[in-house]
Amino acid sequence: MTNLPSSNDTPEQTPEFDLRDFRNALGHFGTGVTVITTVDENNQYFGVTVSSFNSVSLNPPLVLWSQVRGAPSHQAFLKSDYFIVNILSEDQKDISNTFSRPSEDKFKDIAHHLSPQGIPILDGTLGHFICKRERDIDGGDHVIFIGRVASYSYNTSEHTAPLFFWKGKYHSATDHTS
Ligand SMILES: Cc1cc2nc3c(=O)[nH]c(=O)nc-3n(C[C@H](O)[C@H](O)[C@H](O)COP(=O)(O)O)c2cc1C
């Protein structure tokens, strides 16, 4: 594939990248927003806002997400056998903000119930996946968690829309007519 820059392109970058600029470039890929939850051996809950969630395989049912190694909750996710992916709806921006900042008790004012494994499932989301940790993969300064979906549930209402994240800001997703 040839890569001839058009006059409107930013000049092509090569490593060493400017990390801020690389991050800006990656931010041009819009994503949904999830909160991934787990529990540790002391029954302390953990939850992290994550846009790196993705589906991997239908059969077997596998999904993935990646977490920066230095995150305060990282050790809990490395030790726990299960995590839960909660898909946020467009009216859950505040929840996304709550779970994207370090805090002692992120769940204090957040409506939730517990999975059979004792992990918080957030209420009012578009759906969730209960995942057994299948494999962790070295992803540079992140660890890629691959989970096998043990069970899932989703909101069947037609009037729900996802929270959308693009270029460092929240957006609403709009329908295409075709
Ligand atoms: C929209 C959005 C998406 C994010 N996606 C990720 C992600 O995919 N992986 C990650 O490690 N951190 C991600 N973060 C940052 C974490 O949410 C943030 O570092 C959080 O404080 C981690 O929780 P902890 O401090 O309890 O460990 C994202 C933040 C936002 C606002």
Closest approach atom of ligand 1 to CA 33: 1
Q: In the chain, how many domains are there?
A: 1
Closest approach atom of ligand 1 to CA 53: 8
The type of residue at 15 is P
Contacts of 30 by beta carbon, 8 Å cutoff, 6+ apart: 164, 165, 166, 167, 171
Bond before 60 cis per omega within 30 degrees? yes
Tokens of 105: 């008790």
Mean pLDDT on 92-101: 98
**Residue 163 domain-assigned?**
no
Residue 7 pLDDT greater than 80, yes or no: no
**Residue 9 domain-assigned?**
no
Cα(10)–Cα(17) distance, rounded to whole angstroms? 14
**Residue 171 domain-assigned?**
no
How many A from CA of 51 to the centre of ligand 1?
A: 8
**Residue 87 domain-assigned?**
yes
pLDDT band of 10, cuts 50, 70, 90: low
**Residue 138 domain-assigned?**
yes
Residue 131: which domain range? 33-156
Q: For residue 120, what is the domain's CATH number?
A: 2.30.110.10
pTM exceeds cut of 0.75:
yes
**Residue 2 domain-assigned?**
no
Rounded alpha-carbon distances, angstroms, from residue 25 to 13, 21, 30, 156, 163 = 10, 6, 11, 34, 20
Q: What is the overall mean pLDDT for the chain? A: 93
SS3 34: strand
**Residue 6 domain-assigned?**
no
pLDDT in tens, 43-96: 999 999 999 999 999 999 999 999 999 999 999 999 999 999 999 999 999 999
Cα(35)–Cα(95) distance, rounded to whole angstroms? 8
From atom 13 of ligand 1, which residue's Cα is the shortest distance away?
50
**Residue 161 domain-assigned?**
no
Q: Is the CB of 92 under 6 A from ligand 1?
A: no
